[in-house]
Amino acid sequence: MAYVRGNLAVKPKYKPPVRQRERQPHKKQQAPRKSTLSAKEKLLYLFTIVFCVLIASVLIYRYAIIYETNKNVQTLKRQTEALHAESNVLKVEKEKKSDWARIEQFAKDKGLKMSDKPNDIIAPKITR
Report whether 12 contacts 19 (CB < 8 A). no
- List the beta bridge partners of residue 7: 4
pLDDT tens, 35-65? 788 889 999 999 999 999 999 999 999 999 9
Q: Is the pLDDT of residue 1 over 60?
A: no
pLDDT at 7: 65
Distance CA 50, CA 46 (A): 6
pLDDT tens, 63-121? 999 999 999 999 999 999 999 999 999 999 999 988 988 988 888 898 887 777 777 77
Say how far residue 90 (Cα) sits from the centre of its chain: 35
Report whether 4 contacts 11 (CB < 8 A). no
pLDDT at 116: 74
- List the beta bridge partners of residue 4: 7
Distance CA 71, CA 64 (A): 10
pLDDT at 104: 87
The pTM assigned to this predicted structure is 0.48
